C-alpha cells in the first residue's frame, strides 16, 4: 500500500484540504484498491454518522449482550464480547476488504460498549439517543520491519458531552505471560495512558477509551509492556500514528 492510500479515511471524513483532495482524487483514478474500498466505505461511513441517530440497536444483539451483562461478572462479559466480535469478524472478512471489515468491527464494538455502559449506569440514568460525530480518523502502522503486517485504525468520536477513542488493531505479535499492549496519547513529548488490552489468538484487539473534553494530542503510540502497571512506557513501541 502506497502512502497515498493511507489518506483514504481522511478523504472520506472530509479532513483533507483542497490540494490534498485533488491529489487523492487523481490517485483513486489509478488505484483500483482505493476505488473499491472507497465505494464500500462511503456507505458505511455515512451510516456511522447517521444511523446512530436514526436506528435502534438490533433487538437480538441488544438482548444477547444485556443478558450476558446481567448473568456474568465483568471479566466474563469481556471474554464473551470478544468471542461474539470474533464470530462477526470472520463473516465480515468474507464480505469486505480488511480495511472495511476493521471499521465495521470498531462500530460494533462501540455499540456493545455503549449497551454495557448503559447497564452499569442503571435504569434511571439511560443515555439519551444522541448522534455520534466523527472528529478524527487515524491509520496505525507497525514500527518494525518484522511487524510490517501489523496495522489498525482509530477514531475519535463525540456523542453529546462524551468523547471516546476507539482503537482496532490487526496482526499483533502474541503476548507472553503478564505482557500487555498499552496505548499512549502524545502531545509535546508528554504521554497520557489510554489503557491496556490483550489481543486474541488471531492477533486482533480493540480498545475503547473515554477522553477528557480538554485533552488534546497529536500522536498515538502502542507499546509492549511487561505487565499492566506501567505509568510511563517501559517496553518497546509496536505501533504508531500521527493526526
Q: Which CATH number does the domain housing residue 168 bear?
A: 2.60.40.200
Domain boundary among 129, 157, 185: 129
Which has the closest alpha carbon to 48: 151, 127, 137?
A: 137
DSSP state of 87: H
Q: Are residues 123 and 136 in the same domain?
A: no
- pLDDT reported for residue 18: 85
Instruction: Give me the residues of the chain with pLDDT under 50, please.
Output: 49-58, 61-62, 64-66, 68-77, 80, 120-128
Domain boundary among 129, 147, 166: 129
Query: How many domains does the chain contain in total?
Result: 2
- pLDDT reported for residue 222: 96
- pLDDT, tens digit, for every residue of 219-229? 999 999 999 99
- pLDDT, tens digit, for every residue of 78-119? 554 555 555 555 555 555 555 555 555 566 555 555 555 555
Q: Over 3-31, what HEC string results?
A: CHHHHHHHHHCCCCCHHHHHHHHHHHCCC
Q: Are residues 135 and 105 in the same domain?
A: no
- pLDDT reported for residue 153: 84
The residue segments making up the domain with residue 22 are 1-129
Q: Are residues 16 and 102 in the same domain?
A: yes
- pLDDT reported for residue 65: 45
Amino acid at each position: 500500500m502506497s502512502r497515498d492510500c493511507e489518506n483514504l479515511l481522511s478523504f472520506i471524513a472530509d479532513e483533507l484540504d483542497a490540494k490534498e483532495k485533488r491529489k487523492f482524487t487523481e490517485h483513486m483514478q489509478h488505484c483500483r484498491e482505493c476505488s473499491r474500498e472507497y465505494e464500500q466505505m462511503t456507505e458505511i461511513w455515512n451510516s456511522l454518522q447517521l444511523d446512530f441517530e436514526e436506528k435502534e440497536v438490533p433487538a437480538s444483539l441488544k438482548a444477547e449482550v444485556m443478558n450476558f451483562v446481567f448473568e456474568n461478572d465483568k471479566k466474563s462479559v469481556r471474554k464473551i464480547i470478544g468471542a461474539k466480535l470474533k464470530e462477526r469478524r470472520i463473516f465480515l472478512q468474507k464480505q469486505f476488504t480488511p480495511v472495511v471489515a476493521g471499521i465495521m468491527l470498531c462500530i460494533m464494538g462501540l455499540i456493545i460498549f455503549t449497551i454495557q455502559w448503559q447497564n452499569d449506569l442503571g435504569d434511571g440514568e439511560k443515555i439519551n439517543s444522541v448522534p455520534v460525530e466523527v472528529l478524527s480518523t487515524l491509520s496505525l502502522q507497525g514500527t518494525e520491519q518484522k511487524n510490517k503486517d501489523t496495522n489498525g485504525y482509530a477514531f475519535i468520536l463525540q456523542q453529546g458531552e462524551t468523547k471516546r477513542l476507539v482503537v482496532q488493531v490487526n496482526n499483533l505479535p502474541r503476548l507472553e505471560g503478564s505482557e500487555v499492549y498499552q496505548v499512549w496519547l502524545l502531545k509535546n513529548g508528554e504521554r497520557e495512558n489510554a489503557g491496556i488490552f490483550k489481543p486474541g489468538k488471531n492477533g486482533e484487539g480493540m480498545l475503547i477509551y473515554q477522553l477528557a473534553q480538554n485533552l488534546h494530542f497529536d500522536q498515538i503510540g502502542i507499546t509492549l509492556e511487561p505487565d499492566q502497571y506501567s505509568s510511563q512506557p517501559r517496553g518497546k513501541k509496536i505501533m504508531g500514528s500521527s493526526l
